[in-house]
């Protein structure tokens, strides 16, 4: 078997990834999986070690989620900027109003 690098856990970033060989007792099927010994995140069960390694290193769902988050952040940016600007405008208005009220009282 070739040397294979396992990427750190996607959940806790740990490098402690263990191989587990499941014996398949009591009706469950035998196979291999990779499991993070820190947080317990694991792959599904595979018939051979290589497939378990491939599964551990492949994160299609995460990649898709990251792309979606990036897209949403990009679309949200103008609204966040507008909100921030509105907040600053409002704060400035309140400061001016307060100053005007203070002047009237004199």
- 92 interacts with Zn ion by CB under 5 A: no
d(CA 15, CA 81): 39
For residue 16, what are its two tokens?
């402690």
Q: How many residues bind Zn ion (CB under 5 A)?
A: 8
In this complex, which beta carbon is closest to Zn ion, that of residue 14 or of residue 19?
14
d(CA 62, CA 92): 42
Choose the binding region for Zn ion from 19-27, 30-38, 56-64, 84-92 (rule: CB under 5 A).
Answer: 30-38
- 17 interacts with Zn ion by CB under 5 A: no
Figure out which of the listed residues 36, 43, 46, 52 binds Zn ion, where binding follows CB under 5 A.
36
Closest CA to 42 of 24, 55, 29: 55
Figure out which of the listed residues 6, 20, 39, 49 binds Zn ion, where binding follows CB under 5 A.
39
Figure out which of the listed residues 4, 8, 11, 69 binds Zn ion, where binding follows CB under 5 A.
11
Do strands 31-36 and 17-22 pair parallel, antiparallel, or not at all (unpaired)?
antiparallel
d(CA 25, CA 40): 21
- 9 interacts with Zn ion by CB under 5 A: yes
């Amino acid at each position: 078997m070739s040397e294979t690098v396992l990427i750190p856990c996607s959940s806790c970033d740990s490098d402690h990834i263990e191989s587990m060989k499941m014996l398949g007792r009591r009706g469950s099927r035998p196979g291999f999986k990779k499991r993070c010994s820190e947080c317990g995140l694991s792959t599904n069960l595979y018939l051979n070690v290589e497939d378990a390694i491939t599964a551990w290193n492949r994160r299609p769902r995460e990649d898709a989620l990251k792309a979606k988050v990036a897209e949403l952040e990009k679309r949200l940016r103008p609204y966040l900027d507008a909100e921030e600007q509105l907040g600053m405008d409002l704060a400035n208005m309140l400061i001016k109003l307060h100053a005007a009220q203070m002047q009237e009282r004199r």
